[in-house]
Amino acid sequence: MKLKLAICDDEAKQREYVLGLVNTWAKLGRHLVEVKEFQDAESFLFHYDAEKDFDILLLDVEMGKLSGIDLAKEVRKENATVQIVFITGYYEYFSDGFDVSALHYLIKPVDERKLYPVLDKAVGNLSYRQRSVFLSTAEADIKISLADILYVEAEKVYVKVHTVSEVYRSRISLTKFMEQLDDTFYQVHRSFVVGLKYVKKVSRTDVTMQNGDVLPIRRGIYDEVHAALIHHL
């Protein structure tokens, strides 16, 4: 599973220091991570409005106009699963962490003995919770559980996300949408990505889903799809 982390701190040296700790932790634990840095809450929220895809947030508290607490409250309005960790020099905000269901509250200076166990716990929490994707439709921005996605279909400049309950349509490329998916999905055709757990049968020409839909399979990849299904079992 690829983890997406954000480090938000108004001090460049602190961001660089925490980034170094995160990269070392990822290397030691063989975690695949993508880390983005933000110098204030406003720049983070601007990015977050477009891509609500972070798994772990490492936040300073006092950062100017908007605090890390303010940032966390905004995120919590629509995301209950992201792991929030405060790294700050101020004890007085400790109780505010409970309001946003923060995983931990670390006091600077932080080191690997303090941070690594917290990151390990965050990964453990994420593995037990359903991962979700975010989709902007004509009606609203929607959060969809990965576990509910049967398959995704490319339709010109749109994707259609077929779930167990309904179909959602959004103006986004299939390639871009796939960045939110994990290894429980497999692209069987240039226009179709399937949820492996919903595949009922696979042949050299098509894939039959559990809901009865039959999707084409790209020529020459039957063995790859079959291996992916076996690995997923």
Report the alpha-carbon distance of residue 85 to residue 104 in Å, rounded. 5
Q: Has this prediction a pTM greater than 0.85?
A: no
Q: What pLDDT does 164 receive? A: 82
Q: Which domain holds residue 214?
A: 133-232
Residues 66, 158 within the same domain: no
CA–CA gap between residue 21 and residue 206 (Å, rounded): 46
Q: Is the dihedral of CA 169, 6, 80, 42 positive or negative?
A: negative
- The answer to whether residues 123 and 146 belong to one domain is no
* Closest to 22 (Cα-Cα) out of 114, 132, 124: 114
Give per-residue pLDDT as tens, 158-169. Answer: 999 999 888 999
Amino acid 128: pLDDT: 45
* Residue 14 belongs to domain with CATH number: 3.40.50.2300
Q: Which residues of the chain have pLDDT under 50?
A: 128
Together in a domain, 107 and 197: no
Residue 101 makes CB contacts below 8 A (sequence gap 6+) with: 76, 80, 84
185 and 114 both lie in a single domain: no
| Structural domains in the chain (count) | 2
**CATH number for 160:** 2.40.50.1020
Q: Identify whether residues 118 and 170 lie together within a single domain.
A: no
142 and 165 part of one domain:
yes
Q: Are residues 137 and 190 in the same domain?
A: yes
CA nearest to 196, candidates 188, 145, 204 = 188
Same domain, 115 and 165: no
Over residues 49-78, the pLDDT tens digits come to 887 789 999 999 988 889 999 999 999 887
